[in-house]
């Protein structure tokens, strides 16, 4: 699963396995979750502080997430998305 961004120990990955809704996967320490492109958790658990960071990052980069999702559907290479700093 390609990593598209990393910040504050949070790893953001995305892959397309012919399923919707569009989403990305997050790992932080021993936690993992799936988020939609509105920054909401679909599945899993992430501590609240990291969840707030992920929500902010998602709002800043929603268009890029959508573009990467479209690339995945076409079996194209993803691009990295800037981390929070």
Q: Is the CB of residue 2 less than 8 Å from the CB of residue 79?
A: no
- The answer for residues whose C-beta is within 8 angstroms of residue 56's C-beta and 6 or more apart is 39, 84
Least Cα distance to 50 among 10, 83, 85, 80 occurs for: 10
pLDDT in the model for residue 65:
97
Distance CA 70, CA 84 (A): 23
Share of the chain above pLDDT 70, in %: 99
Chain length of the chain: 85
For the stretch 10-41, pLDDT in tens is 999 998 776 778 999 999 999 999 999 999 99
């Amino acid at each position: 699963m390609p990593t598209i961004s990393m910040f504050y120990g949070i790893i953001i990955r995305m892959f397309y396995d012919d399923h919707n809704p569009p989403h990305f996967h997050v790992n932080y320490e021993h936690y993992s979750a799936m988020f939609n492109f509105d920054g909401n958790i679909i599945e899993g658990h992430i501590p609240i502080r990291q969840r707030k960071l992920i929500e902010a990052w998602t709002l800043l980069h929603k268009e890029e997430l959508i573009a990467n999702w479209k690339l995945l559907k076409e079996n194209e290479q993803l691009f990295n998305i800037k981390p929070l700093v």
